[in-house]
Amino acid sequence: MSLIKGVTLGQYIPADSFIHKLDPRCKLLITVLSMILIFISGSFPAMAMWASLIIFTAKRSQIPAKALIKSAKPILVLIIFTSLLNIFFTGGSNIIFSIGPLKASVEGTVTALRMGLRLYLLVLFTALLTFTTSPSELSDGLEAAFGPLTRFGFPAHEVAMMMTIALRFIPTLFEETERIINAQVSRGADFVSGGLIKRAKAYIPVLIPLFVLVFKRADTLASAMEARCYRGGKGRVRMYPLTWGSAENKALTAFVVFSAAVISLNRCM
């Protein structure tokens, strides 16, 4: 199935770049702030500036454009579905066309484009984070970010580990899904013809073995962690401690200046 083939979200692309060398806490902070500001930004010029920041960051971090574009494949259906909802269910006086009781207006189309761009940019920012941060660095960064909550009983290390493992296994799950679908197609399964209900039923032979494989991989991973004497984050030391230096301060300052420019542009539009 072409929709899930070549999905790159969750992968790490090693490179010797300034972005790769940044402290994961800095990259996490910038990513979270970017997501918040993207939702605040409502004008298309402001979103164009966020897109330019993504392109600039991808070039500086030596991330192939093809890999960045592929990272958004998993949410294409969500973007299309959300856009259709906004087109037909957002009220407006300027009607473009109608399909029965559903009416598409200019206002709804603009809202759909704005929402679709927001979702697309959010995925690209997340992809840049995983492309430039190794799973171990990402886990350490998340644990450090959740660290202040441990005094209230929050399991920072466990949550960071679960989030990192989930991101790491996204490409693996898509590969397994692709393999199962190809096996079912070779046995005569049809996933493209018929109505929506028929196609949904056709995916049942895919979901059952996929769940079995997920549980098997989880059991294998748990056994491997136990064999390496993993006992959680208590008393754990790092081979490479996190360090926040001048490079992180410069990156954060540049991002703040850029964000202020985007917010000013958004207010002027």
Of 182, 86, 68, 174, the residue nearest 127 (C-alpha): 68
- β-strand partners of 269: none
**What is the C-alpha separation between 170 and 6, in angstroms, rounded?**
12
Q: Is residue 8 part of a domain?
A: no
The predicted pLDDT at position 82 comes to 81
Instruction: Work out the average pLDDT over 97-126.
Output: 82
Indicate if the pLDDT at residue 6 is higher than 70. Answer: no
Indicate if the pLDDT at residue 2 is higher than 60. Answer: no
Which residues have C-beta within 8 Å of that of residue 195, sequence separation ≥ 6?
none
pTM of the model: 0.73
Helix (H, G, I), strand (E, B) or coil at 41: coil
The predicted pLDDT at position 10 comes to 62
Instruction: Work out the average pLDDT over 205-209.
Output: 85
Indicate if the pLDDT at residue 258 is higher than 90. Answer: yes
Question: In the structure, what pLDDT confidence band is assigned to residue 239 with cuts at 50, 70 and 90?
Answer: low
Of 115, 126, 100, the residue nearest 47 (C-alpha): 115
Q: 266 or 257: which carries more pLDDT confidence? A: 257
Q: Is residue 143 part of a domain?
A: yes
Q: Is residue 5 part of a domain?
A: no
CB 176 within 8 A of CB 210: yes
Question: Over the Cα atoms of the chain, what is R_g?
Answer: 22
Of 172, 179, 61, 181, the residue nearest 127 (C-alpha): 61
How many Cβ atoms sit within 10 Å of the Cβ of residue 211?
10
Tokens matching residue 155 = 């399991």
Question: In the structure, what pLDDT confidence band is assigned to residue 235 with cuts at 50, 70 and 90?
Answer: low
Q: Is residue 4 part of a domain?
A: no
Which residues have C-beta within 8 Å of that of residue 70, sequence separation ≥ 6?
6, 7, 8, 9
Tokens matching residue 205 = 């032979």
Please work out, in degrees rounded to the nearest 5, the angle formed at the alpha carbon of residue 130 by the alpha carbons of 124 and 134.
Answer: 165
Q: Is residue 13 part of a domain?
A: no
H or E element that contains 97: strand 95-99
Indicate if the pLDDT at residue 9 is higher than 70. Answer: no
**What is the C-alpha separation between 71 and 11, in angstroms, rounded?**
9
CB 19 within 8 A of CB 61: yes
The predicted pLDDT at position 53 comes to 93
pLDDT tens digits for range 27-64? 999 999 999 999 888 788 888 999 999 999 999 999 98
Q: Is residue 7 part of a domain?
A: no
Total domain count, the chain? 1
The predicted pLDDT at position 1 comes to 45
pLDDT tens digits for range 143-190? 888 888 888 888 887 788 787 787 777 777 878 888 888 888 888 877
CB 129 within 8 A of CB 57: no
Q: Is residue 1 part of a domain?
A: no
Which residues have C-beta within 8 Å of that of residue 103, sequence separation ≥ 6?
88, 95, 97
- Give residue 69's domain range: 18-268
Indicate if the pLDDT at residue 248 is higher than 70. Answer: yes
**What is the C-alpha separation between 131 and 72, in angstroms, rounded?**
13
Instruction: Work out the average pLDDT over 77-93.
Output: 77
